[in-house]
Amino acid sequence: MFFGHLCHCYWCAGKATRSLLFLRVKLNICLCFVPGRRSLLTAMEKTNMDSRRHYFHICSDGNFSSVIFHDPADFKAAMNRVAILAHKFHLVILAFVLMDNHIHIIVSAASKDDADRFAHEFKRLTGLYCSRHYGEKGSLRRLPVKVLAIVDEDELKTKICYVLKNPTKARIGMFYDYPWGSGNLYFRETGDASFLEMGVRVSDFGLNQSRAVFQSRQKIPEDWVVVDGLILPANYIPVKEVESLFKTPRSFMYFLSLNKDDEIEQETGDGDNIRLTDSELRQERNAISQQLFGISKLQDLSIPQRLKVARNLRSKYLCSKKQISRIVRLPLETVTAHM
């Protein structure tokens, strides 16, 4: 990929110097991407938002205590669900990311009703999937899913980049390496079309095979390309449109470098900054539980035992109470009251 500890992006042609090392802060980006005042003013003077469509941030609660997507098969099925439902409800997906316990999707739609129907159907079908594969009937009923209107171009660009940065913030990896989203599509040297030379087309599938692979009876475009059962996001995300919104890689990296997380998370309901990933913290939870009680499975712990594990996690790793409530699967109010 085109970012590294030094500036190895194709825009810079590898002309990095030691002075760029400090730009590894947060996102490993280089100064050559940060626009000057002139380019910022230009971007503000002319909008690329389509006035005939409406823009929305569809998101679920980042503090939801249950894991929704457990393995690559779950993520693939969910990504295909995003593609198929977007086609069904005539939404345009501009950017998205699927985390193990929540989602973020930036869309444009003809109306909020279309975005609401997409969000409702995605939650319903995901709940059915969890019930069918894990016996978790009704597990998503209490999961709040919001459809938040985006009012101007600056907010649209900020939220696109906020969505893409989720894996980086969760310390899973850089956004352009994360496979369960669209972060690896934008401002590529080879262009997004290179992805579409890798697989087979939907037209190559028979009817029964198509329904089995995509777990849907919904008709989808026959020219979409599929790799290992995954409908590639490059099929349905208008990459060039998103790039034209930012105009230049420099502007794109500028918005990635902005930190408006607290402001956005207040709106979306997401949690505090994460010091350890949820996956790492679950491993620590199991180790502490085994050490304290000789029990490694969370479901075998009583509530008082879970609270003791929670206090140990809080003391040892300074995790947020919201993250701990997810890890020990107790209500936030209960965790807060016993910290």
Burial-class residue 315 by CB neighbours within 10 Å (0-12, 13-18, 19+).
exposed
Residue 224 contacts by C-beta under 8 Å, 6 or more apart in sequence? 83, 201, 202, 231, 232, 235, 236
Chain CA centroid to CA 291, Å: 34
Domain 54-268 in CATH 3.40.30.10? The answer is no
Both structure tokens of 33: 């991407």
pLDDT of residue 49: 65
pLDDT of residue 145: 92
DSSP 8-state symbol, 23: G
pLDDT of residue 91: 96
In the chain, which segments carry CATH 3.30.70.1290?
Answer: 54-268
Tens-place pLDDT, residues 245-288: 999 999 999 999 988 776 777 667 665 444 577 888 898 899 99
Q: How far apart are CA 87 and CA 224, in angstroms?
A: 11
Chain CA centroid to CA 32, Å: 26
Tens-place pLDDT, residues 141-180: 888 899 999 999 999 999 999 999 999 888 888 999 999 9
What predicted TM-score, i.e. pTM, was given to this entire model? Answer: 0.66
Q: Given its phi and psi angles, is residue 186 left (phi above 0), alpha (psi -120 to 50 degrees) or beta?
A: beta
pLDDT of residue 322: 83
Q: What is the DSSP string of 165-208?
A: THHHHTTS--GGG-SSBSTTSTT-SS-GGGGGGSSEEGGGS-HH
Q: How far apart are CA 96 and CA 81, in angstroms?
A: 12
Its sign, for the CA torsion 276, 277, 278, 282, is negative
pLDDT of residue 140: 85
pLDDT of residue 123: 95
pLDDT of residue 280: 85
Q: Distances from the Cα of 236 to the Cαs of 50, 59, 83, 94, 211, in angstroms?
A: 17, 19, 7, 9, 19
pLDDT of residue 61: 80
Percentages of the chain per state (helix, strand, coil), in multiples of 5:
50, 10, 40
pLDDT of residue 212: 85
Type of residue numbered 214? F
Per-residue pLDDT 10s for the chain (339 aa) are 333 333 334 333 333 333 333 333 334 433 333 333 233 223 333 456 666 789 999 999 877 667 899 999 999 999 999 999 999 999 999 999 999 989 999 999 999 999 999 999 999 999 999 999 988 787 788 888 999 999 999 999 999 999 999 998 888 889 999 999 999 999 987 655 566 677 889 888 888 888 888 888 888 899 999 999 999 999 999 999 999 999 999 999 999 998 877 677 766 766 544 457 788 889 889 999 998 999 988 989 999 999 999 988 877 776 778 888 889 999 988 888 887
pLDDT of residue 173: 85
